[in-house]
A and B are shown apart, each in its own frame.
Chain A
Amino acid sequence: MNTKFRVFLKGVFDVSPLMIPVVPFGLIFGVLSIDIGFSPIETMGMSLIIFGGASQIILLQLFSGGASSLVIISSVGAVNSRHLLYGAVVSEHLSELKLIWKIVISYFLIDQAFARSNEYFKKNNDKDKYFHLFGGGITCWVIWQTTTFLGIVLGAFIPEKLGLSFAVPLTFLALLVNDFRKLINVIVIIISGLVATFGFNYVPYKAYVIVAGVTALLTAAILTKLNKKNE
């Protein structure tokens, strides 16, 4: 078997267990998007063009709340800023790649694929290793597009009474489960939540996500600094 294809398959295989939670995310996104009033084509367009669960759900949430485009776009930027964290780690493994491959890989670079491929890159140093990330990314892509489509179809049959919009805070809550055990994270979570809730009606342009995010991040900076002084 061709090496590239074997590495690609390894990527598919490694990322697959992490795809289980992606299924409900995609379904919820499809259902909610139709519910809010986007057309099926626009909904598919979001999954194809943006291809990022948290970004797409923030878009829906702010759009339905009547936020301006500028606020929606900058909030999506704020959500994505967590990706910058990975930069230092992945870029050193991919620095030899041609620009076109960097562009392709960037499109497919989602949290789950990053997590698995980063482990693979640490252990393997062949020149085709980037196919691992490609395989993982494509796997997630197929699942995301399929579940978005199913969500669009199912959305027509799901009664509004079920209150499926509650699934949005639940999915984000689920993404934080690892952070509930760390004291500084818990404080940061509470600060962000309180600022957003109390600022919801008062922060202009529905920019409450950004204001809460910045306040909470500053809190994290101060607390981690104090924590070091005490050690």
Chain B
Amino acid sequence: MSNWLLIIYCGLITFLTRFSMIALLKKEMFNDRIREILSFVPSAIFPAIIFPAIFLDNSGDFQLENNPKIMAAIIAMLIGIISQNIIATIISGLASYWFLIFMV
């Protein structure tokens, strides 16, 4: 598949999930139980991006020693929990990562 076709399909599926919620869905289609479970979607999907990017190297092998990403992610997470602030979380993570790779 060409890159453009891939981009268009991804755009289409993104649009359709948004459109279906405006045009097709009725309030009755979702009971409280389904809503409750859907509210876990970010917690269920985002870590599947986060964890491999931190614990695996570019070829997919475990990288647990000498890995500044682990410490930087832990610092970012702690700052995130305390501050509840998205920007502070990203900046503290990047800053500690750079500190670990350039200064230590």
Q: Which residues of A contact B (CB under 8 A)?
A: 20-21, 24, 38, 42, 45-46, 49-52, 54-59, 61, 63, 69, 72-73, 76-88, 90-92, 94, 99, 102-103, 105-107, 109, 162-163, 165-181, 184-185, 188-190, 192-197, 200-201, 208-209, 212-214, 216-217, 219-221, 224
Contacts and interface: CB of A to CB of B under 8 A. Distances in A.
B10 A88 contact: no
Contacts of A78: 45
Interface residues of B, number: 68
Contact of B49 (A20, A58, A90, A188): A58
Contact of A85 (B35, B56, B97): B35
Given A72-B10, A107-B15, A94 B47 contact: no
Interface in B27-65: 27, 29-30, 35-56, 60
Interface in B49-104: 49-56, 60, 69, 72-73, 76-77, 80-81, 83-87, 89-90, 93-94, 97-98, 101
B51 A197 contact: yes
**Most chain A beta-carbon neighbours within 10 Å: one of B22, B39, B73, B97:** B22
B81 A181 contact: yes
B103 to A, nearest CB: 14
A163 B54 CA distance: 12
Contact of B73 (A55, A165, A173): A173
Contacts of B97: 163, 166
Contacts of B53: 61, 165-166, 168-169
B18 A174 contact: no
A177 B84 contact: yes
